[in-house]
Amino acid sequence: MEFRNSLEDKYDWLQEYFPFIHWTHILFTGEKIISADILIDDRIKNLADFQGRKLLFSSPHNMLITGYERVNSWGEIKTLLLP
């Protein structure tokens, strides 16, 4: 992993905000080489080759990026994906 120290922080964040996701269903990967319907990410390098719906999560480092469906909060994502 490029930033191996971030794994614990990411896991802790998931446990706090998504406690219903069991640890056996969490996957940390350096490259997003998975097959899925939707990928939410703040880095376009992770979205570029993804074949499903790409949601660019707003962050200071990507504010000038265009050409992606942008989301600004998890609440917005909830509204967008869970009608």
What does the DSSP 8-state code read for residue 54?
A: E
- Please state, in angstroms and rounded to a whole number, the distance separating the CA atoms of residues 69 and 54: 7
For residue 49 the two structure tokens come to 């080759």
pLDDT at 1: 64
Alpha carbon separation from 31 to 37, 44, 75 (Å, rounded):
16, 12, 26
- Domain at 33-83: CATH code: 3.40.50.1000
Span 12-35, mean pLDDT?
85
pLDDT digits (tens, 9 = 90+) for 34-62: 788 999 999 999 899 899 999 999 999 99
Q: Where are the domains of the chain?
A: 1-30, 33-83
pLDDT digits (tens, 9 = 90+) for 69-83: 999 999 999 999 987
